[in-house]
């Protein structure tokens, strides 16, 4: 075993601090200033450690997600800080009480009483850890020692490393005995330098240790989905409402997440929380998605407990149920709002109201709107229109045809071109997860839909879409995955992997850390073990495949395979535009080409599409890129209202 002894004189924490040499002679206020200035140096000591802390969080998160435990061991102040951090996790994030476990040299007695000799017993850590039946493939150990040389901690790390646990060291010196022994997978060395009181590592070293431990445990909880949006820094979304303060906090969280959708009284929210067994996260899914407890649990399990992924999945499955609202006043004031994944129109409108200087501070139902135009996915289904029209009329206090116009979301896209007096028609190309082309003719100053091409769905069409581009890249990567698997089974040398295939593998590895190149197909088709409804599974796969498109587009300038795939997609979209022009007698010189959808926000892809259209002999008078349909609609309404005045 390597020697663990280190000359204390060589430790930065044991050196005399010249900046505090006179602290016993100055005034009390000056004393406080000196101590404060020393403490202010601590965060800078943690900054160089951030990459190692991040790697630690990623490694431990995957183990905890699978049911693993995180053990802290330390002596004296270091041990107490471990106990503090571990004990705060369950009430803050509703984690099981045995998920984060802290051990201190000398046992619980040492928490309140100095037991200095206990730290020198190197073998005691093994004894303490054995009592917990360590699972090496799941459990992790964080060894905390400001000096980097505490025998109790070094012994624990040596034992944990020998049986296969992931090990982490937290020290405040460099070099350290912990580094020399080499029993840590991750070593975080926050060098805080000389203490204000020589050797008193409960001060700067203790503060740095607290910062590091806070960051590790908080990072793990965030990665596990225990927070949501800006609630990550304000309130904990997975708390258990076990006392008066936490019950009120849980209600507040549900109201923030639910927005305008949450009209519940305290008693009603308490009832939802009771059904959710006190879990704010489960209650949020039940309330926002209006699903029973069992389905809420399935959705959370399917998304590894991450609330944001649950709502994003719901948005994808509903095919565009997010809601964006824009308010414009005649004096030029602008307000914008977003309703989230459940088409909460009222919430989006209220957000827009709150962000518009002219209407800020008012409830939108009290505002008299001159006109409103709503674009809804699926509105062209007759069964939907009647109930939607009634609801929107009541919501906005406007009547259909008398200030309120409701159309499909696609019908909003060409309105920006309506102000171009010489434009008679518009061809709209939409490329997001799927793709479609639509044509419009101008009637009485507004565009009316006249035709469509494509839009057949991912099984039969969607050429040039994110799904199409992602699918082609995946086919290439899957061929290489098959080769990788075959050569591995035959014990043959690995074959060089193309850059595009590497990027595709990396894309899925980032999202699913356990993914393996030789089993890429399984990752694409069904990375989640939780049961899914057939439609859910199909939409999951569709969005995963479409997600590869961003990776392909990012490689166009440096990779021939990516360039070929993207060029083919652009040609297919150009063909859709050509079909509409040829078969409807559209004159490009008097028409607008409107580009919309997620992929159209990529400038390079847009240029390819326009170039392909023009090479086919169709040069449009006007090319419009739509990234904010709600804003375009609001501007059109404002212009129309001003024209009538």
**Residue among 451, 455, 411 nearest 432 (CA):** 455
Gap between the Cα atoms of 421 and 626, Å rounded:
19
Known catalytic residue at 88: yes
Contact predicate 573/432, CB 8 Å: no
The token pair that represents 479 in the structure block: 């061929």
Helices (H), 131-224: 151-163, 177-181, 204-223
The catalytically annotated residue of 38, 52, 119, 158 is 119
Helices (H), 382-519: 382-396, 466-489, 499-511
**Residue among 177, 181, 212 nearest 49 (CA):** 212
3-state secondary structure (DSSP) of residue 451: strand
Kindly provide the b/e burial profile for residues 128-162, where b requires at least 16 CB atoms within 10 angstroms of the residue's own CB. Answer: bbeeeebeeebbbbbbbbbbbbbbbbbbbbbbbbe
The catalytically annotated residue of 62, 88, 295, 424 is 88
Gap between the Cα atoms of 364 and 397, Å rounded:
10
**First-to-last C-alpha distance (Å) of the chain:** 90
Gap between the Cα atoms of 173 and 10, Å rounded:
9
- Name the packing angle between helices 382-396 and 345-355 (round to 10°): 40
Kindly provide the b/e burial profile for residues 576-599, where b requires at least 16 CB atoms within 10 angstroms of the residue's own CB. Answer: bbbbbbeeeebebeebbbbbbbbb
DSSP string, 503-562: HHHHHHHHHSTT--GGGHHHHHH----S---HHHHHHHHHHHHHTTHHHHHHTTTT-HHH
Contact predicate 137/147, CB 8 Å: no
Gap between the Cα atoms of 528 and 474, Å rounded:
19
β-partners of residue 624 are 594
Measured in degrees and rounded to the nearest 5, phi and psi for residue 212 equal -65, -50
Neighbouring CB atoms inside 10 A of 380's CB total 13
Q: Which helix (H) or strand (E) holds 124?
A: helix 124-130
The token pair that represents 598 in the structure block: 């997620």
Gap between the Cα atoms of 213 and 83, Å rounded:
11
Gap between the Cα atoms of 116 and 587, Å rounded:
89
Known catalytic residue at 119: yes
DSSP tag of 240: B
3-state secondary structure (DSSP) of residue 592: strand
- Which residues are catalytic, by number? 88, 119
């Amino acid at each position: 075993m390597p020697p663990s002894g280190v000359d204390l004189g060589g430790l930065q924490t044991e050196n005399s601090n010249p900046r505090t040499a006179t602290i016993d002679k100055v005034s009390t206020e000056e004393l406080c200033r000196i101590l404060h200035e020393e403490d202010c140096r601590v965060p800078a000591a943690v900054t160089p450690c951030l990459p190692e802390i991040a790697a630690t969080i990623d490694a431990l998160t995957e183990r905890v997600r699978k049911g693993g435990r995180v053990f802290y061991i330390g002596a004296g102040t270091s041990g107490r800080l471990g106990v503090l951090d571990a004990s705060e996790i369950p009430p803050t994030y509703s984690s099981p009480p045995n998920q984060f476990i802290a051990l201190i040299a000398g046992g619980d007695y040492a928490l309140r009483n100095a037991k200095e000799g206990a730290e020198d017993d190197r073998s005691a850590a093994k004894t303490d850890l054995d009592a917990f039946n360590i699972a090496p493939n799941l459990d992790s150990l964080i060894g905390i020692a400001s000096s980097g040389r505490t025998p109790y901690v070094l012994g624990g790390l040596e034992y944990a490393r020998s049986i296969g646990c992931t090990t982490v060291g937290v020290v405040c010196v460099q070099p350290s005995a912990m580094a020399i022994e080499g029993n840590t997978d991750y070593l975080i060395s926050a060098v805080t330098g000389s203490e204000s009181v020589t050797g008193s590592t409960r001060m700067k070293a203790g503060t740095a240790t607290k910062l590091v431990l806070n960051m590790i445990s908080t990072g793990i909880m965030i990665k596990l989905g225990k927070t949501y949006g800006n609630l990550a820094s304000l309130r904990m979304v997975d708390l258990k409402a076990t006392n008066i303060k936490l019950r009120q906090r849980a209600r507040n969280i549900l109201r923030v997440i639910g927005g305008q959708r949450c009209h519940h009284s305290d008693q009603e929210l308490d009832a939802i929380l009771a059904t959710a067994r006190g879990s704010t996260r489960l209650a949020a899914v039940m309330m926002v998605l209006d699903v029973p407890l069992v389905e809420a649990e399935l959705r959370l399990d399917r998304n590894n407990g991450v609330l944001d992924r649950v709502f994003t999945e719901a948005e994808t499955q509903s095919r565009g149920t997010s809601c964006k609202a824009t308010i414009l006043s005649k004096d030029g004031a602008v307000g914008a709002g977003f309703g989230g994944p459940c088409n909460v129109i009222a919430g989006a409108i209220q957000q827009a109201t709150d962000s518009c200087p002219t209407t800020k501070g008012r409830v939108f139902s009290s505002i008299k709107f001159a006109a409103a135009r709503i674009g809804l996915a699926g509105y062209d289904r007759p069964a939907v229109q009647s109930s939607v029209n009634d609801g929107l009329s009541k919501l906005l206090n406007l009547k259909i045809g008398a200030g309120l116009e409701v159309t499909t979301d696609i019908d909003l896209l060409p309105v920006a071109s309506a102000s171009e007096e010489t434009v008679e028609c518009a061809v709209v190309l939409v490329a997001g997860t799927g793709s479609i082309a639509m044509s419009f003719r101008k009637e009485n100053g507004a565009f009316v839909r006249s035709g469509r091409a494509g839009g057949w769905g991912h099984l039969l069409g969607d050429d040039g879409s994110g799904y199409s581009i992602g699918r082609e890249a995946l086919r290439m990567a899957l061929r290489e995955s098959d080769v990788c698997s075959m050569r591995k089974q035959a014990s043959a040398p690995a074959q060089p992997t193309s850059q595009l295939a590497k990027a595709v593998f990396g894309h899925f590895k980032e999202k699913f850390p356990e993914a393996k190149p030789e089993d890429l197909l399984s990752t694409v088709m069904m990375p989640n073990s939780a049961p899914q409804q057939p439609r859910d599974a199909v939409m999951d796969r569709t969005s995963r495949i479409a997600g590869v498109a961003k990776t392909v587009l990012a490689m166009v300038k440096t990779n021939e395979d990516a360039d070929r795939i993207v060029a083919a997609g652009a040609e297919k979209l150009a063909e859709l535009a050509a079909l509409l022009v040829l078969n409807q007698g559209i004159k490009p010189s008097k028409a607008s080409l409107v580009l919309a959808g997620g992929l159209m926000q990529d400038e390079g892809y847009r240029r390819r599409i326009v170039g392909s259209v023009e090479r086919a002999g169709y040069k449009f008078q006007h090319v419009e890129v739509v990234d904010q349909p709600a804003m375009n609609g609001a501007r059109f309404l404002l212009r129309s209202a001003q024209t009538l005045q």
